[in-house]
Amino acid sequence: MAKKPVRKKTVQKKTGKTKTTQKKIVKKTPGKPVRKKAVKKESQREKLEKELKGLLKKIDAEGLIFLLKQARVMIHNVQVDKINREIVEYESKRKTKTGGKSIKPTKSRAAAVEIEEINQGKSFFIRLNNARKIFNLDEMRSLVSICHGADDEIQAGMRIYRWLKSNRIDVLSDCNIAGNGDPHLAVLYKMIISKYKTKE
């Protein structure tokens, strides 16, 4: 019988070369940066408002009425300061030189009490003891009613002082009104009844 041919095994010789595999380089795209939520800091005003709200719960009705009056006075004073600045600016412009000659104001003794209407009679400047304060129309009407309802200057001074203490305490402090017997109140009473009348 014929022998089957035997296949010779082929042996691959090691060449010493290492097989290198190329890795695909994938470029990473930078993702969107994560934004940290900004922590909002409370302003000084917000802190004060929060504190005030907390305190209001502990104040009775009478105390709230007092605070409300004080707040109105503060707002009124801010408005007055603004008007006063505008008046000072206006007067400084009015005193500028005209025609090469400066205008010199005439010297006159300042009255203890003065009343000046502005804004077409909607507001009033009342000067007491060299301090000028602004009153709105409703406030002026109240003073006129008080003065015409009094029997004399003594009673009027007491009533005006009581009204100012309840509604315009800033006038008493800024004008240095010591009490209901202050002579400026008597002069104010005489001036009001001579210039203004109550509506019938």
Tell me what pLDDT residue 197 has. 86
Tell me what pLDDT residue 107 has. 37
**What's the pTM value of the predicted model, to 2 decimals?**
0.47
Tell me what pLDDT residue 100 has. 45
Residue spans per domain, the chain: 50-95+111-195
Sheet with 131-136: list strands edge to edge: 113-118, 123-128, 131-136
Other Cβ atoms within 10 Å of 188 Cβ, number: 25
| Residue owning tokens 């296949």 | 7
Tell me what pLDDT residue 130 has. 81
Q: Are 135 and 83 in contact (CB under 8 A)?
A: no
Rounded distance between C-alpha atoms, residue 35 and residue 32, angstroms: 9
- SS3 state of residue 188: helix
Paired residues of 113 in beta bridges = 128
Q: Are 125 and 134 in contact (CB under 8 A)?
A: yes
Helix or strand run (H / E) with residue 75 = helix 61-94
146-195: pLDDT as tens digits: 999 998 988 999 999 999 999 999 999 888 888 888 888 988 999 999 88
Tell me what pLDDT residue 87 has. 58
Tell me what pLDDT residue 198 has. 79
| Tens-digit pLDDT string for the chain (200 aa) | 555 555 555 555 555 554 555 555 555 555 556 566 555 677 888 888 888 888 888 888 888 888 887 787 777 667 656 656 665 665 566 556 545 444 443 333 334 788 988 888 888 999 888 888 989 999 999 999 999 999 898 899 999 999 999 999 999 988 888 888 888 898 899 999 988 887 76
Q: Are 177 and 103 in contact (CB under 8 A)?
A: no
